[in-house]
Amino acid sequence: MTIQLRAAEKGDVPVIAELIRGLARYEKLADQVEMTDELLAAGLFGERPYAEVVLAEEGGRPVGFALFFHNFSTFLGQPGIYLEDLFVLPEQRGRGIGRMLLEHLARLAVERGCGRLEWAVLDWNRDAIGFYESLGARPNSEWTVYRLTGEALTGLARQ
């Protein structure tokens, strides 16, 4: 069968949520998933959508996804696409599905006038790192990612 890519729709929220949980299990981070179908629906299809999803399907069955959103580079003076999550079901890997999803995002980036497509990868995920480097992606080791969540975030917001 052939892999088809399509933009997700609101009715796909339960499928997207399950794929996100599959990604979290793979990354050994399942205990950190607080997302619900309701939160996901609001974030992707609510009054102000914050992200987009492309689903990879085979015969109407989901086999992978990419969740992304736009950011902006002040140095380039252009928008970019940030890939938050890319996941292909373990039994479907090695078939080119991840590459298809990244090619799709690269085309979107070019069509939308973006200056870059970027993402983060866990340091231990050597398979993903090798895959990304085979596409020509390079690590940006000059930067360290920082994050505020939970009480640290709300505490700073109250200052």
Which active-site residues does the annotation give?
A: 132
Reduced to 3 states, what is the DSSP secondary structure of residue 82? strand
CB of 57 closer than 8 Å to CB of 12:
no
Burial annotation 49-59 (CB, 10 A radius, 16+ → b, else e): eeebbbbbbbe
- Residue type at position 158: R
Contact assessment for residue 66 and residue 83, using Cβ atoms and an 8 Å cutoff: yes
Q: How far is CA 101 from the centre of its chain?
A: 10
Q: Which of 20, 19, 97 is nearest to 58 (CA)?
A: 97
By CB neighbour count within 10 A (0-12 exposed, 13-18 middle, 19+ buried), where does 16 fall? Answer: buried
